[in-house]
């Protein structure tokens, strides 16, 4: 005997937002100016407030990366990265290919990225697992997660978009020097990320 459709329990379903949905919400002023939100795999994620170690590293890396990238890459800080249809994260840093329009006409996409960099404290697990999977699935060539207080860097290279995994990962403990595959001129030493006076 079949159950009548009206008697079947209706289970809640996940409503995934697309990049276009997310952009429309922003255009409509739904997010307050101080909101720290991003779209990841269709979910609207509210990011925790930024701690001082995180903020300090952002300032340090902005100076270093901008100086070293001159003529090799464009440095973007906390810029929405369009990964349609389901994601628009805002990495702490993205090193982008140089482009004639200098990204004035359209947002940066996965094809423009040389390396994405996140600075993590309370968001470490999210950055290492969920965000790493989204970046691999979208074919970003390289991804770094810098642990703000542990003096540690996680490096992900060789994405496998079909399964959202990375072909190679490594954990670098200070002291270290790390260079992206492209452009290699942007080498960073751990003593520059965390100056010895810290």
**Domain for residue 8, yes or no?**
no
Put the strands of the sheet holding 142-147 in their side by side order: 74-77, 93-96, 113-120, 142-147, 152-160, 165-173
pLDDT for res 8: 67
Q: Is the pTM for the entire model greater than 0.85?
A: yes
Containing structural domain, residue 109 = 50-193
**Domain for residue 144, yes or no?**
yes
**Domain for residue 45, yes or no?**
no
pLDDT for res 12: 81
pLDDT for res 54: 93
* Domains held by the chain: number: 1
User: What CATH number has the domain bearing residue 134?
Assistant: 3.90.1570.10
**Domain for residue 14, yes or no?**
no
pLDDT for res 106: 87
What are the structure tokens assigned to 10, written together?
Answer: 């209706």
pLDDT (average), residues 74-80: 93
**Domain for residue 10, yes or no?**
no
Judge whether residue 5 has pLDDT over 70.
Answer: no
**Domain for residue 94, yes or no?**
yes
**Domain for residue 90, yes or no?**
yes
pLDDT for res 185: 85
**Domain for residue 44, yes or no?**
no
What are the structure tokens assigned to 182, written together?
Answer: 């492209």
pLDDT (average), residues 32-56: 92
Express each pLDDT in 164-198 by its tens digit. 999 999 999 999 999 999 988 899 999 999 998 75
**Measured between alpha carbons, how far is 104 from 90 in angstroms, rounded to an integer?**
17
């Amino acid at each position: 005997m079949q159950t009548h459709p009206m008697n079947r329990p209706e289970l809640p379903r996940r409503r995934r937002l697309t990049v276009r949905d997310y952009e429309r919400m922003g255009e409509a002023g739904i997010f307050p100016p101080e909101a720290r939100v991003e779209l990841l795999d269709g979910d609207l994620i509210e990011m925790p407030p930024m701690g001082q170690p995180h903020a300090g590293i952002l300032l340090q890396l902005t100076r270093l990366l901008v100086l070293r990238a001159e003529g090799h890459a464009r440095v973007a800080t906390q810029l929405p990265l369009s990964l349609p249809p389901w994601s628009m994260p805002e990495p702490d840093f993205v090193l982008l290919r140089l482009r004639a329009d200098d990204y004035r006409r359209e947002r940066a996409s996965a094809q423009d990225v040389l390396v994405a960099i996140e600075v993590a404290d309370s968001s470490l697990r999210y950055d290492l697992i969920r965000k790493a999977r989204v970046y691999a699935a979208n074919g970003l060539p390289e991804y770094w997660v810098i642990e703000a207080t542990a003096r540690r860097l996680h490096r992900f290279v060789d994405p496998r978009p079909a399964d959202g995994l990375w072909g190679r990962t490594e954990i670098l403990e200070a002291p270290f020097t790390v260079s992206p595959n492209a452009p290699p001129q942007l080498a960073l030493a751990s003593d520059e990320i965390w100056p010895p006076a810290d």
